[in-house]
Amino acid sequence: MTEDSKFHHGDADQKEPIIRMVNIEKHFGSVIALAGVSFDLRPGECHCLLGDNGAGKSTFIKTMSGVHKPTAGEIFFENRPMHFEDPRDAISAGIATVHQHLAMIPLMSVSRNFFMGNEPTRKVAGINFFDKKQADEITMEEMRKMGINLRGPDQAVGTLSGGERQTVAIARAVHFGAKILILDEPTSALGVRQTSNVLATIDKVRSQGVGVVFISHNVRHALAVGDRFTVLNRGKTLGTAKRGEITPEELQDLMAGGQEMAQLEGSLGGTV
**Predicted local distance difference test score (pLDDT) of residue 120:** 72
Query: CB atoms < 10 A from the CB of 215, how many?
Result: 24
**Predicted local distance difference test score (pLDDT) of residue 77:** 94
pTM: 0.84
Q: Where are the alpha helices (DSSP H) in the chain?
A: 57-64, 87-93, 110-114, 132-145, 162-175, 192-206, 219-225, 248-267
| Per-residue pLDDT tens digits for 182-234 | 999 988 888 898 999 899 999 999 999 999 999 998 999 999 999 999 999 88
Q: For residue 85, count CB atoms less than 10 angstroms from its CB and return exposed for 0-12, middle for 13-18, buried for 19 or more.
A: exposed
| Per-residue pLDDT tens digits for 108-149 | 899 989 988 777 777 777 777 778 888 899 999 999 888 888
Q: How would residue 7 be classed by pLDDT, with cut points 50, 70 and 90?
A: very low
- Whole-angstrom distance, CA of residue 210 vs CA of residue 201: 12
Q: Provide the mean pLDDT of the chain.
A: 86
6 pLDDT higher than 70: no
**Predicted local distance difference test score (pLDDT) of residue 210:** 96
Per-domain boundaries in the chain: 1-94+180-272, 107-178
Fold category of 1-94+180-272 in CATH: Rossmann fold (3.40.50)
Q: How would residue 22 be classed by pLDDT, with cut points 50, 70 and 90?
A: very high
